[in-house]
Amino acid sequence: MNLSFYRLHRCLQQHNLRSVIPKSRLTYAATSRAFSSDSDNEQRKQVVVLGTGWSSLYFVKNLDLTKFDLTVVSPRNYFTFTPLLPKLSAGKITPVTCTEPFAAYMQKHKRGNFKFVHARCLDVRPDEHSVDCVSVRDAERKLSLPYDYLVVAVGAESNTFSIPGVEENAYFLKEVEHAESIYQKIVSNFEEASLPSTSDDDKRRLLHMIIVGGGPTGVETTGEVALLFNKYMARTFPSLARFAKVTIVEGGQRLLATFGAGNSKFTDRVLRKNNVNVMLGKQVCAVGKDDCTVRDVVTGETERLQCGLVVWASGLKPSDVVLQIQKHFEEQNNPRALLVDQYLALRGSTDRSIFALGDCCKVTPDKLADSIDDVVKSIGNMDINTLLRSRKELGKRFPQMASNKLNTSDRAFKELCKKVKRSSGTDREKLLEIMEHIDKNYAAPFPTAQNAKQESLYLAEAFNREFTASDSRAFNEEWKGSLASIGGRNVVGHFPYFQLNGGIITLILWLVVYIRMFSSNKMRLSYIADAVIQKFCGRHIISKQSENNKR
């Protein structure tokens, strides 16, 4: 887009001189929200995407570039296949396997109106329709990029919950660099422990690794590291095998809380069998240079654990750019994420020019209770039963009415409906009470790669059809199941109607699903090559001293 013309149009608009611009050029200016079907370059809207994660990859991959000029801005010039980071942290795969150069990938698959800007977004100017950025390589080099539509897909950062010592002493697992640093730290600790001058107490400390967080990332990392310790490190450093120990700390009463109870029990059993110290009902309250303090959530008693490495895989917090964006909108009052409506448009963006995807946002659909008049007009009366019978149609606009969000067969909900019907209020008051209950119990999509992909496909489709479909459905994720590799050939699966725990079928299913999810054949071939090399040659256990930094 011609930046000088863009700014001229903004200036003219502010002074109500819009009429001096030929009508044919108005569609070129970012203030016009309506799409133009003209294929001329000047008629294409400028779409700016922040980030190169799951959401960004699938959005730009499915965006029709005959209708848009696309610019992707990110300080990271590659896509990371995050589910493989636990394996990378244990040396099972190489960085090439879980990364994809973003610009090269897009030029190969989406030739045409695509640009990649290797920069960090500092702020967004909604009134001017521009983003302020700074070059990754030169902090003095700042730039401003105009947009017609902005898609924020910057992900989230690890949340330390202000626990003392976490930021300074723990290792995070959100990036490829983090995983590489963890593996290098493990190898370095084993090499230090192998020195003749190292005492037995120091060996136990150095070779004790603590993983904080019992979710999929924490559990998968624990399983992979336990395999690394028990098999490969024991083979390379046989005299140190008896000192090596892995501990996983989880504040809840079971691992993989988002999976089925059967999955959790199987995972707990497998990890303990692999000599993992599983600590449930414990919270980390401090992380030191050589120790980690945990507190029992019930009794409050604390215990200090000597360790050589702490991996933090617990919780998410918004990035700096998300916090900056929130300052521009009164509606953005959630401290954890950007609030978007059921169409993934940013709350507060009155011209609907800003959207958000993935871990950086939270879906907050319009409330039924606030739209009671429209709903009554749609269903024809104020009867509660009519409301529930119409949920399929209403679900197109209100995802809280969808079958995967509202279980009308639930006993508690049935009792509530009976209680409300027997109450002495008016029909409107009764209907309003049920609506408020439905609104309150809506659960936003979890921040997972699966949901990020679905959001991206949904928004790309909306862009491609130019937001013109009168029957546009609100976004509502479809949970297809979850898989977790817990070390070696052990995999657990949680699906809508069944669970899988271990076995060759689950392993094959995991391989098929993830290999299909890989963004390119390069990643698929690299994963297979890593597996073959490891099978016949073992793991590549070397220490790169220059990489022993966690940041």
Return the CATH architecture of domain 170-314.
Answer: 3-Layer(bba) Sandwich (3.50)
Residue written as tokens 């903004």? Answer: 10
* Equal CATH topology for 43-159+316-364+445-471 and 170-314: yes
pLDDT at 190: 97
What are 209-253's pLDDT values in tens digits?
999 999 999 999 999 999 999 999 999 999 999 999 999 999 999
Pairing mode, strands 157-158 and 316-317: antiparallel
Question: How many Cβ atoms sit within 10 Å of the Cβ of residue 6?
Answer: 21
Residue type, position 7, single letter: R
* Cα atoms found within 13 Å of the Cα of residue 116, Cβ hemisphere only: 22
Residues of the chain with pLDDT under 70: 1-42, 110-112, 469-471, 545-551
User: How do the domains of the chain map onto residue ranges?
Assistant: 43-159+316-364+445-471, 170-314, 366-443
Residue type, position 84, single letter: L
Which of 313, 291, 317 has the alpha carbon at shortest distance from 165? Answer: 291
What whole-number distance in Å separates Cα of residue 496 and Cα of residue 482?
Answer: 9
pLDDT at 12: 38
pLDDT at 42: 59
DSSP state of 370: G
Residues in a beta bridge with 483: 493
pLDDT at 27: 27
At 5, which helix (H) or strand (E)? Answer: helix 3-14
Identify the CATH assignment for 43-159+316-364+445-471 out of 3.40.1050.10, 3.30.310.10, 3.50.50.100, 3.40.630.30.
3.50.50.100
Q: Which long-range contacts (CB under 8 A, 24 or more apart) does 342-346 make?
A: 342/366, 342/397, 342/398, 342/399, 342/474, 342/475, 342/476, 343/462, 343/472, 343/474, 343/475, 344/455, 344/458, 344/459, 344/462, 344/475, 346/152
Alpha carbon of residue 221 to chain centroid = 17
Q: What angle do CA 491, 494, 497 make, to 5 degrees?
A: 135
